[in-house]
Amino acid sequence: MRRIIFLFFLFFACIETALSQVPDFLPPISDGQLYLSGTFGELRSNHFHSGIDIKTGGAIGKKVVAVYDGYISRISVSPYGYGKAIYITHPNGYTSVYGHLDHFRKDIADYVVKYQYEKESFNANIFLNAETFPVKRGDIIAWSGNSGGSAGPHLHFEIRETKSERPIDPMQFKLPVKDWTKPKIIALRIYPYGNNSFVNGKNEVCKKTTNGWGENYHLLDNDTLYLQGPIYFGINAYDAMNDISNKNGIYSLLCLVDNDTLYHIENDGFLFSESKYINSVIDYKYFINSKARYYRTLHEPNNKLQMVKNVDNNGIVNLSDDSIHKVKFVVKDSYLNTSALSFNIVRDTNYYEPTDTISKDYFFRYFTTNKLSFDDFKLQMEAYTLFNDLAFDFNIVDAQAKDLSPTYVVGDNTLVTFKTFKISIKINDTLDDNIKPHLYIAAQNQKNWNYVGGTISDGWISLWTRNFGSYKLLCDTIPPEIKCASLKPKIANNVSGKQEIKVIIKDKTSGIKSYTPTLNGEWILMDYDAKNSLLVYKFDKRIKKGNNIFKIVVTDNCNNTYEFERVLNY
Q: What is the DSSP string of 29-92?
A: B-SSSB-EEE-TT-EETTEE--SEEEE-TT-S--EEE-SSSEEEEEEEE-SSTTSEEEEEE-TT
User: So what's the pLDDT on residue 5?
Assistant: 40
Question: Phi and psi for 286 in degrees, rounded to 5?
Answer: -65, -35
User: Residue 330 falls within a domain, yes or no?
Assistant: yes
Q: Give CA–CA dist 538/485, Å, rounded.
A: 17
Domain count across the chain:
4
Q: Give CA–CA dist 154/79, Å, rounded.
A: 16
User: So what's the pLDDT on residue 10?
Assistant: 41
Residues 6+ apart with CB under 8 A from 385: 366, 370, 417, 418, 419, 420, 421
User: So what's the pLDDT on residue 33?
Assistant: 84
Do 335 and 197 share a structural domain? yes
User: Residue 18 falls within a domain, yes or no?
Assistant: no
| 530 DSSP 8-state letter | G
Do 336 and 199 share a structural domain? yes
Is the Cβ–Cβ distance between 100 and 82 less than 8 Å?
Answer: yes
User: Residue 393 falls within a domain, yes or no?
Assistant: yes
Q: Give CA–CA dist 223/200, Å, rounded.
A: 12
| 526 DSSP 8-state letter | -
User: So what's the pLDDT on residue 375?
Assistant: 94
Q: How far is CA 19 from CA 12, 70, 92, 261, 294, in A?
A: 10, 19, 12, 33, 38
Cβ-based burial of 247 (10 A; exposed 0-12, middle 13-18, buried ≥19): middle
Do 317 and 197 share a structural domain? yes
User: Residue 17 falls within a domain, yes or no?
Assistant: no
Average pLDDT per run of 10 along the chain, which is 570 residues long? 41 39 83 89 96 95 96 98 98 97 97 97 97 97 96 96 96 90 97 95 96 95 94 97 93 97 97 97 96 97 97 97 96 96 96 86 97 97 98 94 92 97 96 93 93 95 97 96 94 94 96 97 96 96 96 96 96
Q: How far is CA 74 from CA 146, 147, 155, 257, 508, in A?
A: 19, 17, 17, 47, 34
Do 235 and 265 share a structural domain? yes
Is the Cβ–Cβ distance between 135 and 141 less than 8 Å?
Answer: yes
Q: Please give the distance of CA 303 from its chain centroid, rounded to a whole number.
A: 18
| 275 DSSP 8-state letter | G
Do 392 and 267 share a structural domain? no
- Strand blocks (E) in 377-511: 377-381, 390-392, 394-397, 407-410, 416-426, 439-445, 448-453, 455-457, 460-467, 469-475, 481-483, 492-494, 500-506
Do 427 and 338 share a structural domain? no
> pLDDT tens across 439-475, in order?
999 999 988 999 999 999 999 999 999 999 999 999 9
Do 274 and 129 share a structural domain? no
User: So what's the pLDDT on residue 402?
Assistant: 82
Q: Give CA–CA dist 68/136, Å, rounded.
A: 6
Do 331 and 252 share a structural domain? yes
Do 211 and 149 share a structural domain? no
User: So what's the pLDDT on residue 20?
Assistant: 43
Domain end, chosen from 113, 139, 173, is at 173
Instruction: Label residues 407-436 b or e (16+ Cβ within 10 Å = b).
Output: bbbbbebebbbbeebebbbbbbeeeeeeeb
What DSSP assignment string belongs to 456-483?
EETTEEEEEEEE-EEEEEEE--PPPEEE
Domain end, chosen from 347, 382, 414, is at 347
Do 145 and 114 share a structural domain? yes
pTM: 0.92
User: So what's the pLDDT on residue 455?
Assistant: 96
User: Residue 371 falls within a domain, yes or no?
Assistant: yes
Owning domain of residue 443:
362-475
CATH (domain of 90):
2.70.70.10
Do 319 and 245 share a structural domain? yes
Beta strands 154-161 and 94-104 are antiparallel
Residues 6+ apart with CB under 8 A from 331: 183, 185, 235, 237, 250, 252, 253, 254, 338, 339, 340, 341
Is the Cβ–Cβ distance between 253 and 26 less than 8 Å?
Answer: no
Do 210 and 89 share a structural domain? no
User: Residue 259 falls within a domain, yes or no?
Assistant: yes
Q: How far is CA 409 from CA 13, 147, 423, 470, in A?
A: 66, 38, 12, 4
Q: Give CA–CA dist 269/170, Å, rounded.
A: 10
Domain end, chosen from 173, 202, 217, is at 173
> pLDDT tens across 414-431, in order?
999 999 999 999 999 989
User: So what's the pLDDT on residue 18?
Assistant: 38
To the nearest 10°, the Cα dihedral for 523, 526, 532, 533?
A: -10
User: Residue 214 falls within a domain, yes or no?
Assistant: yes
Is the Cβ–Cβ distance between 307 and 268 less than 8 Å?
Answer: yes
Q: Give CA–CA dist 466/443, Å, rounded.
A: 12
User: Residue 11 falls within a domain, yes or no?
Assistant: no
